[in-house]
């Protein structure tokens, strides 16, 4: 748990997604540059971009379900892969772990992007895949930060906030998606009781009066 090694927080977690913009911005620039100079059709670029977005939604779901919520027999794996997320569930008001830290991002990026090389080696298509993935990822980080930072009353943010807080408070083995319920629905972890979920007073307090750390 981070209580044991608080010095690791600044490397593996962050209290807002602002610093991640410095990571994704060069990716976006290079991706657009390579796409614009490639000989691939606009239709192929669009399809690759959409595949990148969908791929991230699956990663978002899979990491949350099979990494953060898996009880590994190896203590080291459990400590480094699950401790921050378990802490987030216990201390939902602690802003320090709302988003990923830069070290976590740089460690995971090669693993996340490498499957694209099994699809194609064409620089234009690869760039479109990475662009879709990185934009969807950055949106995810922003959404997760916002739904823990303020109360939404309507629209998409209110829906995903109820979906996510129902996972926190009522169904830790359901509703693993953070920006949609697509993969929960397809893989059998969708719990529609989030539609009638009412945030308890304790969660309201932790949401609005977040700890100033």
DSSP states of 73-135? SSHHHIIIIIHHHHHHHH-TT-GGGSEE-HHHHHHHHHHHHTTHHHH---HHHHHHHHHHHHH
Instruction: Kindly report the number of other CB atoms within 10 A of residue 120's CB atom.
Output: 15
Integer Cα distance of 24 and 196 in angstroms: 36
Q: For the chain, what's the residue count?
A: 213
Instruction: Kindly report the number of other CB atoms within 10 A of residue 150's CB atom.
Output: 12
Which domain range does residue 38 map to?
Answer: 6-208
pLDDT at res. 203: 53
pLDDT at res. 174: 95
CA atoms within 13 A on the CB side of 198: 2
30 domain residue, yes or no: yes
Question: Do residues 116 and 31 make contact, with C-beta atoms less than 8 angstroms apart?
Answer: no
Based on the structure, what is the number of domains in the chain? Answer: 1
pLDDT at res. 205: 44
122 domain residue, yes or no: yes
13 domain residue, yes or no: yes
1 domain residue, yes or no: no
194 domain residue, yes or no: yes
pLDDT at res. 213: 35
pLDDT at res. 200: 61
pLDDT in tens, the chain (213 residues): 555 665 666 667 778 888 888 888 999 999 999 999 999 999 999 999 999 999 999 999 998 898 877 776 776 666 666 566 676 767 677 777 777 877 677 777 888 888 898 888 899 999 999 999 999 999 999 999 998 888 888 999 999 999 999 998 889 899 999 999 999 999 999 999 999 987 765 555 455 434 333
213 domain residue, yes or no: no
199 domain residue, yes or no: yes
Integer Cα distance of 30 and 34 in angstroms: 6
């Amino acid at each position: 748990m981070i209580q044991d090694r608080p010095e690791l927080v600044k490397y593996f977690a962050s209290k807002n997604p602002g610093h991640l913009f410095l990571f994704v911005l060069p990716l976006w620039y290079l991706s657009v540059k390579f796409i614009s100079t490639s000989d691939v059709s606009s239709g192929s670029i669009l399809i690759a971009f959409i595949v990148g977005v969908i791929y991230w939604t699956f990663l978002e779901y899979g990491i949350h379900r099979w990494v953060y919520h898996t009880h590994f027999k190896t203590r080291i794996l459990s400590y480094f892969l699950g401790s921050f997320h378990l802490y987030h569930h216990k201390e939902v008001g602690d802003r320090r772990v709302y988003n990923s830290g830069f070290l976590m991002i740089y460690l995971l990026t090669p693993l996340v992007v490498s499957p694209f090389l099994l699809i194609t080696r064409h620089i234009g298509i690869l760039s479109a895949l990475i662009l879709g993935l990185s934009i969807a990822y950055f949106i995810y980080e922003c959404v997760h930060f916002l739904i823990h930072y303020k109360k939404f009353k309507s629209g998409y943010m209110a829906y995903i906030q109820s979906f996510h807080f129902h996972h926190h408070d009522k169904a830790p083995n359901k509703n693993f998606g953070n920006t949609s319920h697509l993969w929960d629905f397809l893989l059998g972890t969708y719990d529609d009781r989030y539609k009638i979920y009412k945030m308890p007073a304790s969660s309201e307090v932790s949401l609005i009066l977040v700890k100033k750390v």
